[in-house]
């Protein structure tokens, strides 16, 4: 029996320049057939209404604002269970935060923890309107099989993903070899996957030797993009210079590791040569404003990158892209460069939230993604938003930044034609038991991390 659905919302932005308000959406068997304005009384629109009227499920969201499914371009699902963990000492600079917190935390994770972390991350991301998460995983002592755990959890909830496991020399050659094997095996198995793609994860230049970069370059398929941290702190730039390179990005290009679908997270402390190399290759920058503020590492000069290359991530700081977009906007306003006082912060943030992830993912998956498009599987989110000022083609993004982002919980999320969030409820898993299980795992991990405090 075909599944017919009509959805009426107050407003829709399709991710490709079209704003319709109000809007009616016709979906058949998960495929988005047509979008009309209810005011459209053309023969075509009437034909759809007649065909759907007797059989369709009607969803009427009088305050619904539909956007393309949101994308988190740099996340760490493995860090989910650290939320609220009491720290033994107040966090210091980035190196201390990594050594005293994250490198202890990731070393304690087993495969079951990884699965639960991914599941609870997916649940949170779906509530925030995401249909795809680009995850950067780390579990050096449970590397083998780890990506499959994340895949299973994400797939169970219906969220799409781009996965990688970070390679690092910090745990020695044996661990690195296991991380490399896991990455290559997973990538090979997902070359043409419709919903999940792999990248080759690298931690950051300052924990990778030249010898290791050479090894990775020799064994990595040429078109497999890398996903790494770059210039998050001055120490990464200094380290590359001490090793004889112009900067961390130039160093990776020297080993032939870059291509246009590569993602470099942060990109705050880079050299001029690094910037040039990024522009030459079209490397994507994952801007993580909330994380950068939390770690006190500064902020990138967004206007110095090509406007099409910046995407948005949370770096493990929650899963809400509307919150992240608002933070990116406010940071850009607070830090606006004296050289460019008229910088269009809202335009830049709109591009990093919607337009740029769409072109990045379309290129990576080889199919159109990140837009609400007729003839494609339904892939969009509906937020309940009650404007008290006019909303139109010119100002809708202002409503997103100043209004919707204050309450970034979605009502409906369609991914690949399926409602994975319906009326605010996750449709695939029992959310209460997922949360309970996550709390139990967190309770087991915390003491292991904290008692490790001395070294």
Binding region for Zn ion (CB under 5 A):
265, 315
C-beta of 77 vs 415, nearer to Zn ion: 77
* Minimum distance, C-beta of residue 288 to Zn ion, in the bound complex (Å): 7
* Minimum distance, C-beta of residue 368 to Zn ion, in the bound complex (Å): 28
User: Nearest residue to Zn ion, using CB?
Assistant: 315
Q: Which of these, 348, 362, 383, 350, lies nearest to 63 by C-alpha position?
A: 383
C-beta of 27 vs 167, nearer to Zn ion: 167
The token pair that represents 50 in the structure block: 């007649």
Instruction: 209-217: list long-range contacts, CB under 8 Å, 24+ apart.
Output: 209/169, 210/243, 210/255, 212/167, 212/169, 212/176, 213/251, 213/252, 213/255, 213/257, 214/255, 215/180, 216/167, 216/180, 216/255, 216/257, 217/255, 217/256, 217/257
* Minimum distance, C-beta of residue 414 to Zn ion, in the bound complex (Å): 28
* Minimum distance, C-beta of residue 136 to Zn ion, in the bound complex (Å): 5
* Minimum distance, C-beta of residue 440 to Zn ion, in the bound complex (Å): 26
C-beta of 82 vs 372, nearer to Zn ion: 82
Q: Quickly list DSSP for 240-263.
A: HHHTTSS-HHHHHHHTT---TT-E
Q: How far is CA 358 from CA 73, 269, 273, 279, 393, in A?
A: 11, 27, 28, 19, 20
**Cβ neighbours of residue 192 under 8 Å, at least 6 residues apart?**
none
Residue 340 CB coordination number (10 Å): 12
* Minimum distance, C-beta of residue 286 to Zn ion, in the bound complex (Å): 8
Q: Are 300 and 332 in contact (CB under 8 A)?
A: no
C-beta of 100 vs 315, nearer to Zn ion: 315
- Looking at the DSSP bridge assignments, the partners of residue 28 are 4, 31
C-beta of 26 vs 360, nearer to Zn ion: 360
Q: Which of these, 414, 349, 369, 391, lies nearest to 12 by C-alpha position?
A: 391
Q: Which of these, 262, 352, 264, lies nearest to 303 by C-alpha position?
A: 352
CA angle 198, 108, 159 (to 5 degrees): 35
* Minimum distance, C-beta of residue 291 to Zn ion, in the bound complex (Å): 7
* Minimum distance, C-beta of residue 251 to Zn ion, in the bound complex (Å): 18
C-beta of 124 vs 315, nearer to Zn ion: 315
6 CB-contact burial (10 Å; exposed 0-12 / middle 13-18 / buried 19+): buried
276 CB-contact burial (10 Å; exposed 0-12 / middle 13-18 / buried 19+): middle
* Minimum distance, C-beta of residue 315 to Zn ion, in the bound complex (Å): 4
C-beta of 28 vs 75, nearer to Zn ion: 75
376 CB-contact burial (10 Å; exposed 0-12 / middle 13-18 / buried 19+): middle
* Minimum distance, C-beta of residue 40 to Zn ion, in the bound complex (Å): 45
C-beta of 24 vs 290, nearer to Zn ion: 290
C-beta of 290 vs 315, nearer to Zn ion: 315
C-beta of 108 vs 266, nearer to Zn ion: 266
Q: Are 225 and 200 in contact (CB under 8 A)?
A: yes
C-beta of 19 vs 299, nearer to Zn ion: 299
* Minimum distance, C-beta of residue 114 to Zn ion, in the bound complex (Å): 16
């Amino acid at each position: 029996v075909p599944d017919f659905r009509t959805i009426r919302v107050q407003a829709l932005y399709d991710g490709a320049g079209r704003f319709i308000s109000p809007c009616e959406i016709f979906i058949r068997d998960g495929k988005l057939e047509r979008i009309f304005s209810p005011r459209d009384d053309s023969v075509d629109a009437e034909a759809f209404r007649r065909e759907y009227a007797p059989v369709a499920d009607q969803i009427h969201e009088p305050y619904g604002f539909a956007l393309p499914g949101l994308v988190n371009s740099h996340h760490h699902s493995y860090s989910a269970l650290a939320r609220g963990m009491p720290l033994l000492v107040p966090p210091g600079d980035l190196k201390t935060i990594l050594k005293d917190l994250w490198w202890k935390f990731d070393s304690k994770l087993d495969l079951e923890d990884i699965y639960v972390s991914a599941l609870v991350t997916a649940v949170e991301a779906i509530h925030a309107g995401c249909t795809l998460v680009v995850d950067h995983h780390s579990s050096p002592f449970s590397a083998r099989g780890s990506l499959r755990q994340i895949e299973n959890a994400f797939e169970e909830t219906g969220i799409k993903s781009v996965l990688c496991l970070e390679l690092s020399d910090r745990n020695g050659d044996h661990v690195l070899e296991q991380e490399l094997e896991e990455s290559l095996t997973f990538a090979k198995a997902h070359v043409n996957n419709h919903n999940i793609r792999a990248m080759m994860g690298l931690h950051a230049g300052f924990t990778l030797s030249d010898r290791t970069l050479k090894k990775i370059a020799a064994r990595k398929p040429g078109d497999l993009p890398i996903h790494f941290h770059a210039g998050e702190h001055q120490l990464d730039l200094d380290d590359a210079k001490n090793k004889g390179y112009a900067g961390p990005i130039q160093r990776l290009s020297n080993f032939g590791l870059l291509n246009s679908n590569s993602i470099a997270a942060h990109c705050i402390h880079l050299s001029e040569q690094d910037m040039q190399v990024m522009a030459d290759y079209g490397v994507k920058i994952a801007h993580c404003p909330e994380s950068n503020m939390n770690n006190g590492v500064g902020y990138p000069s967004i206007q110095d990158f090509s406007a099409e290359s910046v995407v948005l991530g949370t770096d493990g700081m929650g899963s809400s892209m509307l919150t992240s977009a608002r933070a990116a906007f406010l940071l850009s306003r607070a830090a606006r460069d004296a050289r460019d006082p008229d910088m269009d912060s809202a335009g830049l943030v709109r591009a990093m939230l919607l337009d740029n992830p769409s072109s990045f993912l379309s290129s990576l998956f080889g199919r159109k993604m990140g837009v609400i498009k007729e003839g494609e599987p339904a892939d969009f989110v509906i937020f309940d938003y009650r404007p008290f000022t006019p909303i139109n083609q010119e100002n809708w993004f202002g409503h997103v930044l100043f209004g919707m982002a204050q309450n970034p919980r979605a009502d409906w999320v369609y991914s690949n034609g399926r409602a994975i969030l319906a009326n605010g409820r996750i449709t695939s898993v029992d959310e209460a038991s997922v949360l309970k299980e996550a709390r139990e795992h967190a309770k087991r991990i915390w003491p292991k991390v904290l008692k490790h405090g001395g070294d």
